[in-house]
Amino acid sequence: MEYDHLFWLNVVKYSLSLDNDSLMLKVESEKSEYIEVGVPEEWVGPLKALGFDTIDKLKEIEKPGKLANDLNGYKKKNKLDLPGLSPETVTSWTLP
């Protein structure tokens, strides 16, 4: 049996999953944290939708060009009125 619960604690989103007697707690980064590393506010939602729900995941990217391509594809598929992204722009987000 699998249960997923979302709850807010101290303005941080946590996801609690109980699956086959194991417990996982996942912390999701706030929008302000993405903005601090240079991600434009309008791209935070698409990044999270593609699975980059923490800054640590974003920093682990090995191929920023692929992420730029994925984000531009997400923009096109969802008909978002956002500027296109270059690999250089996305690289600047992933630098330590």
**pLDDT-derived band of residue 12, with 50, 70 and 90 as boundaries?**
very low
pLDDT digits (tens, 9 = 90+) for 18-76: 555 555 556 788 999 999 999 999 999 999 999 999 999 999 999 999 999 999 999 99
Q: Report how far apart the first and last C-alpha atoms of the chain are (Å, whole number).
A: 39
Look up the domain containing 67 and give its range.
Answer: 2-94
Q: How many domains does the chain have?
A: 1
* Exposure of 56 in the CB half-sphere (CA atoms within 13 A): 4
